[in-house]
Amino acid sequence: MAKRRVDWIDAAKGIGIFFVVLGHSPLSYESRAFVYAFHMPLFFFLSGFLVANANSLSMADKAKSLLIPYLLLCLIQLAIFTSYEKALIDDPTTTAQAIWGFLYSSAPALKIDKPYWFLPCLFVTFAYFKLLTRLRTTRGLAVAVVFLSIVAYEYSSIARSMHLPRWPWSSDTALMAVCFMIAGYLCRPLSPVVESLRRRTSFCIAALLFFSVWVVVQFNSRSDMLGLGYGRNLYLYAAGSAAGIVACISLAQALSRVRVLKWLGENSLTLFMFQGNVLILINVVIGQLNNAQITDWHVQDTLKWGVIYALVAIVALMPFCWLVNRYAPWLVRGIPRSAP
């Protein structure tokens, strides 16, 4: 039986994927710091929120839905890179380096299409999650989140300062990611509260919390989960991430009837995996018009241009999303579970 889609969750994914594409577009340091404070934690949080029963979580099913699409998408991206993108952007990465990057799936090994780290990392995060949820009690899981977040933060500081090798499949990043996943799982009973919020109230909460995120990032340096960067202070990082997650959920509840936003959420994985290719093409076109070198952004790093790039990329990918859904849904959803 197909799972019933929840409007505000699809809308939250839609908001999240917009911020992901925006974060990969030309932005000022301050705007990028704002986006990076919560855009990836949001997806790990929602992944945990959607787990109805931790005991029935099947890692075999997760392998089918995450690792098989990852393999297929890597093959597609490798073909795109070697056929034209490498020459187009004058990238010195060799084919062997690109293949090793996809196999290792962690910085700095991942040379091209760095957003692809998310799928293997999500699989590892589910594995950590399944192990930790054996604690069963809410108190035990809450203590585990606090303890593990401290461990993940301290390890990131040591790893960055000592230039320690990254773990395969970004499993070191998953140490922090699983904290957001467990938080989402523990917040699952609050779904009726979210759905009961009135639109005006939701907008007010979202505006207040987005402002809070902006305040927090003024005191904390830019975070980057892939790069094991969580800012200068764990508490500021946690506060900014939590505020951004709740702000996105509140805004999603207010806009849960907006069909375009829900459609973006339903197609968030396709958009996530191919937005980099479109952003490159947009930049090449603008560069050709300006006779500029194609290795740099050809506009100022401002919020205005970032939003323009993000919107153009998303609109350009809409027909592609339709084609994937119609003819190759397995490409982003994996092998469907056979009927009992």
Residue with tokens 């996105």: 248
Note the pLDDT tens digit of each residue in 119-129.
999 999 999 99
Tell me the two tokens of residue 19: 């911020």
- Neighbour count for residue 158 (Cβ, 10 Å): 11
Sign of the dihedral defined by the CA atoms of residues 278, 283, 286, 287, in that order:
negative
Residue with tokens 């090994």: 109
Judge whether 146 lies within some domain.
yes
% of the chain at pLDDT higher than 70: 92
Would you say residue 288 lies in a domain? yes
Per-residue pLDDT tens over the stretch 12-52: 999 999 999 999 998 889 999 999 999 999 999 999 999 98
Q: Is residue 254 included in any domain, yes or no?
A: yes
Query: Is 2 contained in some domain?
Result: no
Span 218-252, pLDDT tens digits: 999 889 999 999 999 999 999 999 999 999 999 99
How many folded domains does the chain comprise?
A: 1
- Whether 339 is in a domain gets the answer no
- Spacing of C-alpha 287 from chain mean position: 28
0.75 exceeded by pTM: yes
CA distance 140 to 131: 13
DSSP H or E run through 278: helix 268-290
Of 149, 129, 135, 148, nearest in space to 44 by CA: 129
Of 142, 170, 141, 140, the C-alpha closest to 156 is 170
pLDDT tens across 65-100, in order? Answer: 999 999 999 999 888 888 877 776 777 888 888 899
Q: How many CB atoms lie within 10 A of CB 6?
A: 18
Which has the closest alpha carbon to 40: 179, 215, 204, 235? 179
Q: Is residue 236 one of the residues assigned to a domain? A: yes
Does the residue 122 lie in any domain? yes
Residue-range definition of the domain harbouring residue 215: 7-333
In whole angstroms, what is the distance from residue 78 CA to residue 94 CA? Answer: 11
